[in-house]
Structure 1
């Protein structure tokens, strides 16, 4: 198959400082990550002719920080092609768009980035003596949720988790294995937000958020930014790294309703199309995957992706992760080797892309997956449009 994915390579990655309530301007975080990615690729800003990011500065809640305009203005990059937005195939949608643009000959080196500063924004909002006035009415899907106190994705995803518990016999201890695995891996990660040991007793005794999800089932808001450079395959020869990472396949198809509550509640929505379209573009199978960097906004997100990607049959996800041995660093399918968003911090999906590259380059140090891993799957999103990517060593 002559695939658009085969025409580009990941040639550099970068990350800013990551933490809680850093008090750093989000544009500064984004620029730090972008400069680090350029240095990692051995390129200068004059080499970059494409820019891509997920979202942009669309709200004051810190969910998204810097955008295309900010990075272009500070670094004075004059892109021949650029893209930004929310309605894409998961948070990794800009990577898919950048690969398409390179395959079409629109650009040669694309700088892709994502920035969040949720904890600093929240701290500022709490200290604001003149909070913004409330809207006089609620529109869209929220009109069916807010009257019942369902303000958060924690409430909505809890419905799917509860359904899974009742239909398949899934337990809180099984979800807890995902949280404990994340914390164990985060302890080996210098930039992780939470590194202290987490026991099953800690997990089970923590306060409930939305039954059956407790505190440690929820990911950790943080401040930080991640960037990467995607280069045309022939142009990758001019970069610093001798072994740029290949994109084997990408999936972003939508086969389900976009609504959170108008389709099945057997699994988290908007995952199946991404997974099936990814597998349709490769000869590789789930058994070929050496590790999985799986979006874990909540523990149930991760469990849903495990099933949807075909690592176990539907309904067997709880038993697959039970005890944590299969998904540990030395297990048959190491999952979220940096600690995921549950412990390392919610970098809006880009922490998973960063970690997959670090692992495939063999640069993960104490948390390096043994046996020279060759293939990693990365997923982003779910509940919102999902994205699925297979990355391989160059």
Structure 2
């Protein structure tokens, strides 16, 4: 064995970690640590390192890929100290980290940093591998501070030049010019409503249809996100709603692989612009709050088994929430650009201030910066008020052909969309300086319009966490990278009467998590001067973003 390889394996014990479900592709990775050596997939043709293991080399497109030994050394490029009890037998605090391997810093692993005080972990900490045997065929790669580094910090990989992937417009004839937003609706939104989610969907849909001056018979398309889904994230999708309303649509869409939750609205625009539909009913329903309550009461049995999908490489390390994943990016942002939690705090304080004026908001009691800083931590640097509010509710939107707008009903028009993927569709392999997928869609948005950030009067930016909204502010070009703290200006810059009003209804941080659709509805109401709470003075242009990570999208709306 090469002297650079360090063979340490912890014997199999029940630590309470969820076990990954090895796939036909990933099984060799999970089993490779049996002898204490970290192995990563590598292209045998061009020697490009690849993780997660793929069937095609992203560099040379070769197919000859196998597992190769590494030194087992890496650098921490993002981390969070998790203090939330996500799993019953995996007690906090513990460090979830993204580490870049020495052989190729573009190749990263999500892992735990162990054998040290969590407070001693830093961005740039040099670490080395050790394995925990979790099953006969699973060795979990963990990392500990490398004593040979003697406290010396490693270099961080520089952010990718994502804009080099920007594609020019295919045609000067924009599909956006052929559509209008003619109606919006919303059900009751609240915590633990204990209402059938399909009933909430119907409430929102009927309100949106009436708002557009239409009837159910006028609707000829349905679009939703993410379709039928578990965990309180859907009412059942297209099948459930069609079985209730009997619309007999000429086109339907439902799925999760879209440019953010509002990608289902963009898909509806494309269907209308193509002439396939005239009026598409788009809807999004969540009932997370009631679902969680039912689970706690034992009235809803949660599924069990090994971690699959995106959780295969996260759940074994206790990274059960997007709070853990996105906190890793936030930690690198604060390290790279300087500053502290207060820039995030002012976003939270502003949201609650705005929600106080919104009778529909879930949380309306104002908070101060002292309240923000003293609130319990969830996953550093995120505390309680950095996280959005799980809720029950439904929102619906009508997309119509511009020549089918009902007279007397004021439409909102679509100026541009930002949908292009320029970054790795990954929580850890690509962008680490900002929220993944907030940068590429932003650049694409401005390539489809002559308007600029200076033309925007109100911003409805996805705020599953405060850092999400900060990333969108910078990604959309309202300020330079690292400039959000100065732009926010202790809340003055993003207030309703500030340079760029941000989420005047309270956003998902205070009004309730309606997964992007609530932000879209608020943008429409602002442009129609019909906001239920704070109304921005005479707004002409609004920007809306959606997607709390990957993939995501942006939409530019105008009222004339």
Give TM class, smaller chain. over 0.9
CA distance in 1, matches of 2:213, 2:283: 17
Given that 2:359 and 2:533 are in contact with CA atoms closer than 8 Å, whether structure 1 keeps it comes out as no
| Residues 1:48 and 1:74: Cα distance change in structure 2 (over 3 Å) | same
Structure 1: any 5+ residue segments left out of the alignment?
none
CA distance in 2, matches of 1:39, 1:129: 36
2:249 to 59, 76, 79: 79
Matching of residues 45-64 of structure 1 within 5 Å: 45-59=216-230, 61-64=231-234
CA distance in 2, matches of 1:179, 1:23: 27
Quote the offset at 1:66 in angstroms.
Answer: 3.7
Displaced runs of 4 or more, over 3 A: 129-133
Matching of residues 19-98 of structure 1 within 5 Å: 19-59=190-230, 61-98=231-268
Match of residue 182 from structure 1: 351
CA distance in 2, matches of 1:66, 1:192: 25
Match of residue 366 from structure 2: 197
Q: Which of 293-302 and 71-80 deviates more?
A: 71-80
Match of residue 310 from structure 1: 477
Given that 1:53 and 1:113 are in contact with CA atoms closer than 8 Å, whether structure 2 keeps it comes out as yes
Given that 1:41 and 1:240 are in contact with CA atoms closer than 8 Å, whether structure 2 keeps it comes out as no
Structure with bigger helix share is 1
Given that 1:43 and 1:239 are in contact with CA atoms closer than 8 Å, whether structure 2 keeps it comes out as no
Quote the offset at 1:197 in angstroms.
Answer: 1.2
CA distance in 1, matches of 2:384, 2:541: 32
Quote the offset at 1:68 in angstroms.
Answer: 1.1
Given that 2:229 and 2:236 are in contact with CA atoms closer than 8 Å, whether structure 1 keeps it comes out as no
Q: Secondary structure at the match of 1:144?
A: coil
Q: Secondary structure at the match of 1:367?
A: coil
CA distance in 2, matches of 1:297, 1:252: 19
Q: In angstroms, what is the RMSD of aligned CA positions?
A: 1.3
Match of residue 267 from structure 1: 434
Q: Does 1:292 align with 2:462?
A: no
CA distance in 1, matches of 2:216, 2:229: 25
Match of residue 106 from structure 1: 276
Match of residue 111 from structure 2: none
Match of residue 391 from structure 1: 557
Match of residue 212 from structure 1: 381
Quote the offset at 1:82 in angstroms.
Answer: 0.9
CA distance in 2, matches of 1:393, 1:320: 26
Q: Does 1:163 align with 2:329?
A: no
Deviations 1:229-286 (A, max 9, x none): 11101011x2541x31000001111111111011131111112221111111100000
CA radius of gyration, larger in: 2
Quote the offset at 1:228 in angstroms.
Answer: 1.1
Quote the offset at 1:143 in angstroms.
Answer: 3.1
CA distance in 2, matches of 1:347, 1:355: 11
| Residues 1:121 and 1:239: Cα distance change in structure 2 (over 3 Å) | farther
Q: Secondary structure at the match of 2:275?
A: coil
Structure 2: any 5+ residue segments left out of the alignment?
1-171
